[in-house]
A and B are shown apart, each in its own frame.
Chain A
């Protein structure tokens, strides 16, 4: 089996396993998996910026929330149906990432982290300030009658799972194509040595901006899908916590790997779920797990596997 065949077998196999999982898993875990798949899209977007291009952002909650509110407000204020609203959310995430990128990409490293963090904080406060439209800190619930794509009721478990899986599969395969494309190689070149890439004739600012917009599209899609599938649009999703989470998912699963964000989201979700059943200090458990990760597998689960022989992992 060639490396390419192995790659396709792995990624299509994962999608097939996830499809089958809904018939095997108890309802609680099936719904969890639907949530995890949507959060994985968010993490995949973060991975495109951070894992492949080296852009360590602390502002991705802004793009996730842009998608969520872009979708939610399209439903409630503009009277759009669910599918156009979902696309509006995706576009909102990408556009906002572009706008932030034009300014924030003038900086790099720690400064980039701080500038993106400031934009995200400004976005969060704007959601509170325009509370009459956004619902402020309380947020709002899109009516169940609006959460329909054609005759598909997204508040019902099976359609919700299938839509989450469909979006996840689309995002995963697009990501796989992207990182194996020539542009994907250039992204990695930016991460590894920006100056040498510039010398070779690439425009780092343009490449990073495009990457950030792509990442924003992913985050926007994830935010829109989360709001639509689970029926809540709220400002909490714009807080710093939701900028840190995708970073942790990516670090845990393996930065710069296509499946890593999914594995990271899955592991982190269940780490919190299980640890919270044992102790109130479950974030301590999460913290301890991350410290152990940094000490023993600094490149994450799949990064460690890739180093130990599975070198074909994209």
Chain B
């Protein structure tokens, strides 16, 4: 039986020939791609445990960045793949995951962890295995010199820079007498120490520091400790407790006069600011690293990034408006993956024997202009401290949405080097 394709000017023979030629051509069109072994990147993911909300979005962001990079030709002409391993947001398991990704999966490097204790627990093993370890943690532990030469943070600014750069604006616009409410452990102490120092340097005064033990589930007994003369209440609570904290704060002040309120978005990452119970946040201010709500002046890169990851204009998943992203942190995964690409291409990375050259190439980086690779904004990497610096945003809750009112300069967050990792041996 013959089938007549003559209506399209085709015979079956021509069609088969054409198909065959097409297949042959496609086989030759990408010979390198087909034959080159992929570059294998290990992602230490908080898929379960306390960091799961962050992990879910970190994974989506990594997948989106991976698709973008592979579509543009991969790294050094080779396709890239990411191996995800869950660390349970646990430092013991984190170190085991570093080992597994490196020794068992044969990953070229590891990136992606956020929580400080997991990073600090895992970094020694990365150093021992001599595998580059690029964290998205925003902790000061990298720049403080606590870790090692293989550990770098090129995708997100640290809490010291964030806190310090906020202070001048807070003092100039909200008030000079500040009361701080923070969790009574290391994360809170970073805020307490660096913000207090920045307030004092700016001519303000921290009149009370209220540390809340991590086991507290209600805050009513702490709220009366807020001095009446407080002009600015600075809060940085984490976890589900923040919802209770805000609700009780609202009940405490009622409809009467209240101080200006400034918080860190860490409290409300993955939480809808318009959720019932959070009405009291209306008119208060927040630090954001990256504006969750799409701003009127959003750059083309920001818009493309938002679409690639699947985030709507309000900062939630395009497929589920209730699935709010961790927008102020997850860009670090996108940017880190692009730094990895740049570092591997600058060092001519081919095999794991080139890991040291990769670290040196990243250490040599400095200016990172706003681009498709750096969607949050321009940055400057300090190769000595292995820490990147960038802009910070201050947003105000208006109609339940976070709208930017200020953007800091990069210099606002810079501080003196505490370490020079480049003098350490590999």
B96 touches A140 (CB 8 A): no
Indicate if A230 sits at the interface (CB-CB under 8 A): yes
**Shortest distance from the beta carbon of B158 to any chain A beta carbon, whole Å:** 13
Indicate if A31 sits at the interface (CB-CB under 8 A): yes
Given contacts A236-B91, A276-B86, contact A137 B117 (CB under 8 A): yes
Segment at the interface with A among B179-187, B217-225, B243-251, B360-368: B179-187
A28 touches B214 (CB 8 A): no
Indicate if A273 sits at the interface (CB-CB under 8 A): yes
Most buried by B among A156, A232, A234, A237: A232
- Please indicate the chain B residues that have their CB under 8 angstroms from the CB of A31 in the complex: 99, 103
Given contacts A231-B125, A234-B121, contact A137 B186 (CB under 8 A): yes
- Please indicate the chain B residues that have their CB under 8 angstroms from the CB of A232 in the complex: 91, 95, 120-121, 124
Interface residues of A in 113-162 (CB under 8 A from B): 125, 128-129, 131, 135-141, 144, 155-157
Given contacts A32-B96, A138-B141, contact A27 B103 (CB under 8 A): yes
B117 touches A139 (CB 8 A): yes
Interface residues of B in 57-109 (CB under 8 A from A): 85-86, 88, 90-93, 95-96, 99-100, 103-104
Q: How far is the CA of A108 from the CA of B215 in the complex (A)?
A: 27
- Please indicate the chain B residues that have their CB under 8 angstroms from the CB of A231 in the complex: 124-125, 128
Indicate if A201 sits at the interface (CB-CB under 8 A): no
B128 touches A280 (CB 8 A): no
Q: How far is the CA of A136 from the CA of B190 in the complex (A)?
A: 11
B96 touches A273 (CB 8 A): yes
Interface residues on B, range: 35 or more
Q: Tell which of B47, B96, B117 touches A138, judged by Cβ atoms closer than 8 Å.
A: B117
Q: How far is the CA of A155 from the CA of B141 in the complex (A)?
A: 21
B147 touches A155 (CB 8 A): no
A137 touches B121 (CB 8 A): no
B127 touches A138 (CB 8 A): no
**Shortest distance from the beta carbon of B131 to any chain A beta carbon, whole Å:** 12
- Please indicate the chain B residues that have their CB under 8 angstroms from the CB of A137 in the complex: 116-117, 185-187, 214
- Please indicate the chain B residues that have their CB under 8 angstroms from the CB of A131 in the complex: 185-186, 189
Given contacts A137-B186, A138-B120, contact A280 B103 (CB under 8 A): no
Given contacts A35-B96, A138-B139, A139-B91, contact A155 B185 (CB under 8 A): no
Query: Looking across the interface, which residue of chain B has its beta carbon closest to that of A269?
Result: B96
Indicate if A182 sits at the interface (CB-CB under 8 A): no
- Please indicate the chain B residues that have their CB under 8 angstroms from the CB of A282 in the complex: 48, 86
Q: Tell which of B91, B100, B213, B215 touches A28, judged by Cβ atoms closer than 8 Å.
A: B100
Q: How many A-B residue pairs have CB under 8 A?
A: 93
Indicate if A26 sits at the interface (CB-CB under 8 A): yes
- Please indicate the chain A residues that have their CB under 8 angstroms from the CB of B124 in the complex: 141, 144, 155, 230-232
Query: Looking across the interface, which residue of chain A has its beta carbon closest to that of B147?
Result: A141
Indicate if B171 sits at the interface (CB-CB under 8 A): no
- Please indicate the chain A residues that have their CB under 8 angstroms from the CB of B125 in the complex: 230-231
- Please indicate the chain A residues that have their CB under 8 angstroms from the CB of B95 in the complex: 230, 232
Query: Looking across the interface, which residue of chain B has its beta carbon closest to that of A226?
Result: B92
Query: Looking across the interface, which residue of chain B has its beta carbon closest to that of A135?
Result: B186
B127 touches A144 (CB 8 A): yes
- Please indicate the chain A residues that have their CB under 8 angstroms from the CB of B103 in the complex: 26-28, 31
Given contacts A131-B185, A141-B147, A232-B91, contact A155 B128 (CB under 8 A): yes
Interface of B with A (CB < 8 Å)? 47-48, 85-86, 88, 90-93, 95-96, 99-100, 103-104, 116-117, 120-121, 123-125, 127-128, 139, 141, 146-147, 184-187, 189, 213-215
Interface of A with B (CB < 8 Å)? 26-28, 31-32, 35, 125, 128-129, 131, 135-141, 144, 155-157, 230-232, 234-237, 272-273, 276-277, 280, 282-283
Q: List 18 A-B contacts (CB under 8 A).
A: A31-B103, A32-B99, A135-B186, A138-B139, A138-B141, A139-B91, A139-B120, A144-B127, A155-B124, A156-B128, A157-B128, A232-B91, A232-B121, A236-B92, A276-B86, A280-B47, A280-B86, A282-B48
Apart from A125-B213, A282-B48, A283-B48, 20 more pairs, CB < 8 Å: A26-B103, A26-B104, A28-B99, A28-B103, A35-B96, A129-B184, A137-B117, A138-B116, A140-B120, A141-B147, A155-B128, A157-B128, A232-B120, A234-B120, A236-B90, A237-B92, A272-B93, A273-B96, A276-B85, A280-B86
